[in-house]
Structure 1
Amino acid sequence: MADQNPAIPTYFLVLILYITRFVSTLGKSMPRTTLLPSKLQNHDLANRLHLDPDSIESVSSDYGNIVHKRPAAVLYPTSAEDIKTLIKFSYNSSAPFTIAARGHGHSVRGQAMAYNGVVIDMIHLKNRRKKTGVIVSKSHSLGYFADVGGEQLWIDVLNATLEHGLAPVSWTDFLQLTVGGTLSNAGISGQTFRYGPQISNVFEVDVITGKGQLVTCSPNINSELFYAVLGGLGQFGIITRARIALESAPKSVKWVRMLYSDFSAFTKDQERLISINGRKQNNALDYVEGSLLMARGPLNNWRSSFFPASDIPRITSLATQHGIIYTIEVAKYYDDWTQHTVDKELEEMFKGLSFIPGLIFAKDVSYVDFLARVRSEDNVPHPWLNLFLPKSSIEDFNSGVFRDIVLKRNITTGPVLFYPMNRNK
């Protein structure tokens, strides 16, 4: 087992989601001062540029539901060539306009919108493909990989790669997101401590730059663009293809949650669990996350129903007593070869942890059910906040934010998630 007190610097990603009905009017009353150039309206792209009210309204807000911006038009592309043509037209125009690529619009501050410009509907490109946008291959130098269209959804990537017994290793909690969208951010979930975010598991990307040029880039070819566009919030180009690392897919998941009343014990145990680390180690965990349970909040929320009904009164009583209960959530993947040893491996990993005695819960689910545990119908537009915090500040954050703000103001309408991660990933 790895060192129980690792010296590796640790970050905690805190994800705070407030599911509300708040809708800002920012942008709705602003006058439209810019129109698309008349030459564009007479261009070959004109029949794929939609200016009707329904099309405009559909892309005038994003999933954060805070910022609202109306574009002049929406492009429904039939190929990457349409996207190139549009961007090149704007770049060479005497009156360039804003362009934004949009998948399902899962941004917070309007990154998927283009005020008085053009929004590119990437999902339309996905739907227009006659063949799958996911091609699985293997090479001597890279091993298995998938070439994936930037407009493809991660759930479709999962289903396509599973047909070959393979899957990517790093995910987001919600899979109804486009590949280009999450790679333009980071792509973080409970696997990040071990495999890094999704952007750390990409061999190569095709990018349409701000000049309308299609460029293939990797760590060795056009590397500046490669590292700029991965996590670049769409400001350095539009990803049209990504070559993603694959490994053998497991069949099943042992899914465990442990409850804590002490924040310090909670974070120390998270660090300990991610220190049992190593990409090829069979005894390492595959997923580590944390969350908050509030006295007046739902114990089984939109992310998943987990706790047995018989234990909910006890958990509710503890949450009422302490105000906040902290939960560590872990997953260990297994298959037919390891199903008889997975329980013993977890038992060894959990020795010495400081969770509340008797409040550890486990269940077995399929690999697909675990990854797709957040359902589309339960995920409604809402503001949220992502914060990277160093280990040195996490105690202050608990006392200053969770205790003095969230608890005292009785904010119980959305989950708060903790992703512990090693900084070197």
Structure 2
Amino acid sequence: MIAFIERFVHENDVDSSDSASDYAGEVLSDLSDAGHDFGGLQFSKPLAVLRPSDASDVAKILRLAARSPHLTVAARGNGHSVNGQAMAHRGLVVDMKSLSLPIHVHADGIHADVAGGALWEDVLRHCVVNHRLAPRSWTDYLGLTVGGTLSNAGVSGQAFAHGPQTENVTELEVVTGNGDVLVCSKRQNSELFFGALGGLGQFGIITRARVLLQPAPDMVRWIRVVYTEFRDFTRDAESLVTRPDGDTFDYVEGFVFVNSDDPVNGWPSVPLDRYGSFDPGRFSNSAGPVLYCLEVALHYKNEDSPSTVDTKVERLMGGLRGKEGMRFEAELGYMEFLLRVKRVEEEAKAKGIWGAPHPWLNLFVSKNDIGEFDHVVFKNILKHGVGGPMLLYPLLRSKWDSRKSVALPEGEIFYLVALLRFCSPYQDGLSVHQMVVQNQEILQSCTKHGIDYKLYLPHYNSVEGWKRHFGNQWTRFQERKARFDPMAILAPGQKIFSRNWQHS
């Protein structure tokens, strides 16, 4: 690290008033990983990849960048962004996985302190195995870093009950663009706390988070129910997420699939095990080009009797409008359920498609317009599928603190729409370029039809796009930038602010 700092100071005329001898981190010679991400759509070569040992090292990196007229810094977790958000062209990429803060579960059994670069799957295993506790809110895929998801939102089937992951932290340690290491919460440095959560890495790098825990169940009853009518599907999904606590499932999601035997996009994607049987003969000829699947899960303990679990499941399922005979169930352990996408990852890697480009599109769509979205997008533009899951499930705005940085559509109920494209051979498959073009067609169609939506994991190439995205929150976003990262050193890959941006 010392040699790199000294060489950089010499070659870039950086003020060398601070000694380089106290930098404890490493510099990686291999820059290839930091030059691309999971999306596989962009490549940008950094000047260096740094592996800090602690928050003070991160602060030193940022203070070094501040003494240069042009250098930028991007925090990189597990490289799972899709549009170059964790890249820094000719800048410094900070490998957050090097922060070695051990996971510390508090004696109160309610909180755990974890490093910003820790993977959620490691947090899960440590808390469950050692303490029979678990964080309350998750993402579907857990090979993501804590700081990465907290910089966006972090949503999954538990978010209707507990809010996104950003609502399940009580304290952060953040290194601001000014090079300050600050502990923040709702009561201490609150503007930074609210800004950093969902702030896309624009105000600081999250080096530690205190997350809320709850007792971990032992087992999960996992259920899928198929629908032919969109209105029935949305009514049932919205009913489940708005029921009182204790009177609904612990997890509620859903997805759209193609009404065909396509192995990737169609009927075979619904059964919960490879031996499950999907009988399309139960549908009338009037069923549309796409069908819908409501996915729910109930947690329980080993000591709960099977009859007790069965009784509760049937009570909660009572009155749902799913297609008779189109219900699929599986019983599995809690960690196995939460790590279910890990199995998908392993299979995709074995087939050579995990490393392929992933032009994903993630949206929040208002309940008021979700029917129009179904008609315009699912039943028309995407009637042949996307070569991967098309997630669709409701969330509750009241579970999100409006002081945080995430932009949401109007209304109490809005839907997550996640088009998780894989670039792999499938029926009527598109090239990567065609997938990107189709994503733009979807967004243009939403605008044309007046559909109220916000991009989740947003990406725009112009300031005007970001202004539209944040709407009346834009001024607050700018003010936070001016306060915590006035030289716009952080997160250049988001393309929101340029280096040495001046707030007016």
TM-score, normalised to structure 2's length? 0.69
Q: Partner of 1:292 in structure 2?
A: 256
Structure 1 residues 70-219: aligned runs within 5 Å: 70-91=45-66, 93-123=67-97, 125-126=98-99, 129=100, 133-139=102-108, 144-162=110-128, 163-219=130-186
Matched with 2:39 is 64
Matched to 1:314, the amino acid is P
The answer on whether the counterparts of 1:169 and 1:247 sit within 8 Å (CA) in structure 2 is yes
Q: 2:316 aligns with which of 349, 363, 377?
A: 349
Identity of aligned residues (%): 41
- Using a 3 Å threshold, how does the CA distance of structure 1 residues 266 and 194 change in structure 2: closer, same or farther? same
- Between 1:177-186 and 1:80-89, the stretch displaced more is 80-89
Answering whether residue 15 of structure 2 is matched by residue 49 of structure 1, we say no
| Deviation at residue 298 of structure 1 after TM alignment | 2.2
Residue pair 1:253, 1:334 contacting (<8 A) in 2 also = yes
Count residues in correspondence: 374
User: Unpaired runs of 5+ in structure 2?
Assistant: 1-9, 349-353, 400-504
The answer to whether the 8 Å contact 1:250/1:335 transfers is yes
Deviations 1:325-373 (A, max 9, x none): 1000000000034344121112112111111111111111000000000
Q: How many Å separate the matches in 2 of 1:157 and 1:168?
A: 8
CA contact (8 A) 2:271 2:328 kept: no
DSSP-derived class of the 1:342 partner: helix
State the 1:157 CA deviation.
0.5
After superposition, the Cα gap between the structure-2 partners of 1:62 and 1:319, relative to the gap in structure 1 and judged at 3 Å, is: farther
1:373 and 2:340 matched: yes
The equivalent of 2:368 in structure 1 is 392
- Compared CA separation, residues 365 and 137, structure 1 to 2 (3 A): same
> How has the CA–CA distance of structure 1 residues 299 and 90 changed in structure 2, closer, same or farther, with 3 Å as cutoff?
closer
Shift in alpha-carbon separation, 1:302–1:178, aligned structure 2, 3 A:
farther
Distance (whole Å) between structure 1 residues aligned to residue 85 and residue 12 of structure 2: 23
- Which residue matches 1:232? 199
Deviation at 1:78, TM superposition (A): 2.3
Q: Name the stretch that deviates more: 314-323 or 349-358.
A: 314-323
Task: Kindly state the Cα deviation for residue 423 of structure 1 after the two structures are TM-superposed.
Answer: 1.4
Deviation (angstroms), 1:285: 1.0
CA RMSD of aligned residues (A): 2.6
Cα shift at 1:65: 1.8
Contact 2:257 2:385 in 1 (8 A): no
Q: What is the identity, as a one-letter code, of the residue corresponding to 1:137?
A: H
Give the SS at the match of 2:139. Answer: coil
Match of 1:258 in 2: 225
**What is the CA–CA distance in structure 1 between the aligned matches of 2:316 and 2:107, rounded to whole Å?**
34
- Does structure 2 conserve the Cα–Cα contact (< 8 Å) formed by 1:257 and 1:362? yes
DSSP 3-state at the match of 1:246: strand
Distance, in Å, in 2 between the alignment partners of 1:211 and 1:257 is 49
**CA distance in structure 2 between the aligned counterparts of 1:357 and 1:71, rounded to whole angstroms:** 55
Conserved 8 A contact 2:154-2:164: yes
Query: Any idea what SS the aligned residue of 1:148 has?
Result: strand
Structure 1 pair 384–310 and aligned structure 2 pair: CA distance change class (3 A): closer
- Counterpart of 2:119 in structure 1: which amino acid? L
Letter in 1 for 2:56: E
Counterpart pick for 1:401 among 374, 377, 396: 377
Residue 246 and residue 319 in structure 1: after superposition, are their counterparts in 2 closer, same or farther (change >3 A)? farther
Give how far 1:320 is off: 11
Stretches of 4+ aligned residues off by more than 6 angstroms = 299-305, 315-320
- Range with bigger deviation, 111-120 or 314-323: 314-323
Aligned to 2:152, the other structure's residue is in SS state: coil
Q: 1:349 to 1:228 in 2, by over 3 A?
A: same
Change (3 A) 1:46 1:192: closer
Q: What SS is found at the alignment partner of 1:272?
A: helix
Structure 1 72/318 Cα, relative in aligned 2: closer, same or farther at 3 Å? farther
> How far apart are residue 58 of structure 1 and its match?
1.1
Offset from partner CA, 1:297-329 (integer Å, 9 cap, x none):
526899996156351353798899532110000
Identify the residue that residue 3 of structure 1 maps to in structure 2. Answer: none
Paired with 2:333 and 2:284, the residues of 1 have a C-alpha distance of: 31
Going from structure 1 to structure 2, the CA distance change for 1:359 and 1:339 (only over 3 Å counts) comes to same
In structure 2, do the counterparts of structure 1 residues 302 and 222 end up closer, same or farther at CA, with 3 Å as the change threshold? farther
Q: Distance in 2 between matches of 1:418 and 1:401?
A: 12
Deviations, residues 59-108 of structure 1 (Å, cap 9, x unaligned): 111112222211111112222222110101112x1424110010111212
Q: By how many angstroms is 1:240 displaced? A: 0.5
- Paired residue secondary structure (1:397): helix
Higher RCO by CA contacts (8 Å cutoff, separation 6 or greater): 1
CA distance in 1, matches of 2:377, 2:11: 45
Structure 1 gaps, min length 5: 1-34
Separation in structure 2 between the aligned mates of residue 403 and residue 366 of structure 1, nearest angstrom: 36
CA 1:392 to 1:240, structure 2 compared with 1: closer, same or farther past 3 Å? Answer: same
Give the distance between the partners of 1:102 and 1:302, measured in 2 at CA: 36
Q: What CA deviation, in whole Å up to 9, does each residue of 1:209-263 have, x standing for no partner? A: 0011100000111111001001111111000100000110000001000000111
* 8 Å CA contact 2:114, 2:209 repeated in 1: yes
Q: Return closer, same or farther for 1:319/1:329 CA change in 2, 3 Å cut-off.
A: farther
Match of 1:333 in 2: 299
Counterpart-to-counterpart distance in 2, 1:316 and 1:179: 44
Contact 1:255-1:363 within 8 A present in 2 as well: yes
8 Å CA contact 2:71–2:90 kept in 1: the answer is yes
